[in-house]
Amino acid sequence: MFEVRNLSAAYGQSTVLHDINMAVKPGEIVAVVGRNGMGKSTLMKSLIGVMPSRSGQIMVDGSDVSALQSHQRVAKGLAYVPQGRQIFGTMTVKENIETGLVVTGKSDVPPEIYSLFPILREFEKRRGGNLSGGQQQQLAIARALASDPKILLLDEPTEGIQPSIIKDIAKVLKEIRDLKNLCIVVCEQVLSFVLDAADRILVMENGSIVHSDTRDRVDEAAIARFLAV
Ligand SMILES: Nc1ncnc2c1ncn2[C@@H]1O[C@H](COP(=O)(O)OP(=O)(O)OP(=O)(O)O)[C@@H](O)[C@H]1O
């Protein structure tokens, strides 16, 4: 179980996240949607610990990780796929995935990762920088999975990806959820992707969660209005 309680974060004097609360069950995909600048990336960065939170708790299976550094949070089961993917362009595909293995003590890429992303096995020896955007996104997800997480955080995985591949990313997230029973939190702006992938949708405006819907009872028009510029 992943729980965020009254999380706030600020850049200097400017508070960007206000009392965020969410609970994500194993096997659940929760999407946080909102327009540019509403605080989605700040939320992700605070959860993984690349940015400190100001107050609140981040609970992984009942223990608060909010005072821990990022690598310690990864050891506790959090994994992060950053916006823009941030893969290592000069390293091979295999080496990129191996960077995620460090906390597990394993040295070989688990076969299930290559089963989820067969293209990465095929391109194992290629440099990450030579992959297409969609393939790099798969690589970033594979690298995150290599740490054998309980909670997977993804920041705008569809950014810069062509529509047909966006569908594939939604499909693979659901496969990962089913295979590993993970808690998945994904920040997004692409409504079709969210409707495809998420079990629950939270809307963020100006650093607060202002609306929440389960997928089966979603009010698409209401969510679209929040996303309209
Ligand atoms: N390093 C920073 N210093 C100061 N303010 C920042 C910094 N990064 C982001 N902000 C501000 O915090 C707010 C939230 O930004 P954030 O990047 O979290 O939004 P977002 O919803 O992820 O948007 P996007 O989709 O563009 O990434 C914005 O007002 C932004 O200008």
Q: What's residue 209's pLDDT?
A: 96
| Ligand 1 atom at minimal distance to the Cα of residue 45 | 18
Tell me the pairing of strands 200-205 and 29-33: parallel
Helix (H) / strand (E) containing 17: strand 14-24
* Cβ–ligand 1 contact at 107 (below 6 Å): no
Q: What's residue 47's pLDDT?
A: 97
* Cβ–ligand 1 contact at 38 (below 6 Å): yes
Dist. CA 79–CA 191, nearest whole Å: 23
Structure token digits, residue 174: 């659901």
Domain ranges of the chain: 2-86+150-227
Query: Residue 209 in contact with residue 22, Cβ under 8 Å?
Result: yes
Question: In a mutational test of the pocket of ligand 1, which residue from 20, 36, 186, 226 has the highest number of ligand atoms less than 8 Å from its CB?
Answer: 36
Expressed in angstroms and rounded, the spacing between residue 70 Cα and the centre of ligand 1 is 20
Question: In a mutational test of the pocket of ligand 1, which residue from 20, 32, 33, 38 has the highest number of ligand atoms less than 8 Å from its CB?
Answer: 38
Q: What's residue 103's pLDDT?
A: 85
Q: Which residues of the chain have pLDDT under 50?
A: none
Q: What's residue 106's pLDDT?
A: 86
Dist. CA 224–CA 203, nearest whole Å: 10
Note whether ipTM > 0.90 here.
Answer: yes
Query: Residue 31 in contact with residue 200, Cβ under 8 Å?
Result: yes
Q: What's residue 207's pLDDT?
A: 95
* Strand boundaries in 66-207, DSSP class E: 78-81, 151-155, 183-188, 200-205
Q: Closest residue (by CA) to atom 2 of ligand 1?
A: 11
Q: Closest residue (by CA) to atom 17 of ligand 1?
A: 41
Expressed in angstroms and rounded, the spacing between residue 110 Cα and the centre of ligand 1 is 35
* Cβ–ligand 1 contact at 82 (below 6 Å): no
* Cβ–ligand 1 contact at 41 (below 6 Å): yes
* Cβ–ligand 1 contact at 200 (below 6 Å): no
Q: What's residue 66's pLDDT?
A: 96
CATH topology of domain 2-86+150-227: Rossmann fold (3.40.50)
Q: What's residue 84's pLDDT?
A: 86
